[in-house]
Amino acid sequence: MITSGGGGSEIKYDTSTVKQVTSEMRSSVQSLDATFGTVIEGSIKLDMVESLNEIKERYDELFAKYETLFINNVQATDKSVDEMERTDQVVARGV
């Protein structure tokens, strides 16, 4: 929230809320069930079975990339909140 008055603007934020949300997001992605089944095998190789196995492989790779990207974004958010808190402390000491 941005407020202004007396010739200046002030940005107010609640870091505890942001940290709670990022913690919930981290837990959510870690608890996702990304299992797509096992590789299908048998004595008869069908084109469909091979195609399903290829789709499963691509799905597993895509999900691993998504999970990594998601966790990186949550960590970047946490880092930004920490930086804002440190900046606030420096500014507060200088005022």
Q: Looking at 4-8, 23-27, 45-49, 52-56, which range is the least confident one? A: 4-8
Q: Could you tell me if residue 1 is inside a domain?
A: no
Going by pLDDT thresholds of 50, 70 and 90, the confidence category of residue 69 is very high
Q: What is the DSSP string of 54-91?
A: HHHHHHHHHHHHHHHHHHHHHHHHHHHHHHHHHHHHHH
Q: Determine the pLDDT at residue 18.
A: 84
- pLDDT category of residue 46 using cuts at 50, 70 and 90: confident
- Is residue 8 assigned to a domain? no
Domain of 52, in residue numbers = 15-93
Residue 42 domain-assigned (yes or no): yes
pTM of the model as a whole: 0.60
Domain count, the chain: 1
Stretch 46-71: mean pLDDT, rounded? 88
